[in-house]
Amino acid sequence: MSVKLLLLKSGEDVVSDVQEMVVNEKVVGYYLRYPCRVKLVTNMDGVSEGQQKVGTRIQLQPWMPLSKESIVSVVADWVVTITEPVDQLVQMYEDGVNKYEIEQSEAASAE
């Protein structure tokens, strides 16, 4: 698995297992497996004497939640940059994908 963090033209940060889409030895796009939108959520907990404790946490949401496809193709023109995500994000993504795949296989075997 090659988990990467992508910044798209839309301004969205997407984490996914990424594979290059190559045509005639040229990268024309990317295949994103279980892409998730990454959001930083700010928590403002408690106010004491005018000071606020502010923290952030990472939240993952399916990038195309209404798609039946687990692999989504994106043309290269829509990708601004691709980077290595921080370890915490990689772990969250891998845990989420593993949990989702287990749930899907259990649902399929129950039918």
User: Do 78 and 9 contact (CB within 8 A), yes or no?
Assistant: yes
Per-residue model confidence as pLDDT tens digits over 11-62: 999 999 999 999 999 999 999 999 999 998 887 665 555 566 667 889 999 9
> Which residues form the domain of 64?
3-110
Please give the single-letter amino acid code of residue 99: K
**Which pLDDT does position 105 carry in this prediction?**
86
CATH number of the domain to which 46 belongs: 2.30.30.100
Closest listed residue to residue 71, CA positions, set 35, 33, 22, 20: 33
Tell me the C-alpha distance between 95 and 3, whole Å. 12
Question: How many domains does the chain fold into?
Answer: 1
Percent of the chain having pLDDT more than 70? 89
In 1-111, where does DSSP find H-type helix?
Answer: 87-110
* pLDDT for position 108: 82
